[in-house]
Structures are given as structure tokens and as C-alpha cells.
Amino acid sequence: MLVKLLTVAEVAEFLSKPRSWVYENWRDEQIPFRRIGQSLRCRPSDLDRWLDAQLAE
């Protein structure tokens, strides 16, 4: 099964944050990005788990 990886822009839209916030905070916030070449990508399921963990805190 092929899963579409989310771009920074798509993650920003999903989180209702500006792209600049995502770029500046992805490490500190532990957003589950993976580097693909020079790009950051995120699996939707990983983002859902991360968001659930954020809401549980």
C-alpha cells in the first residue's frame, strides 16, 4: 500500500500554523518528519499519533 507523505505546507495547513512556524519548531516540538533528500516529509499516521500525544499532555 502506497502512502502519500505530507509536505511541510500540508502539515502546516493541517495544524493551522504558518509554514515558517513548522520549519522553526519541528525539532523542538518533535513533529515526526523524515528527511527525504533535502525535503521534510511526514506520514499522516505519524502526524495523527503525534497530535494525539500533544492533546493528551
Q: Identify the residue with better confidence: 12 or 3.
A: 12
Question: Can you tell me the distance from the alpha carbon of 5 to that of 16, in angstroms, rounded to the nearest whole number?
Answer: 18
Q: What is the pLDDT of residues 21-54, one digit of tens each?
A: 999 999 999 999 999 999 999 999 999 999 999 9
Copy the grid coordinates of residue 40: 521534510
pTM: predicted TM-score of the whole model, two decimal places:
0.89
Please report which confidence band the pLDDT of residue 57 belongs to, taking 50, 70 and 90 as the band edges: confident
Q: Where are the domains of the chain?
A: 8-56
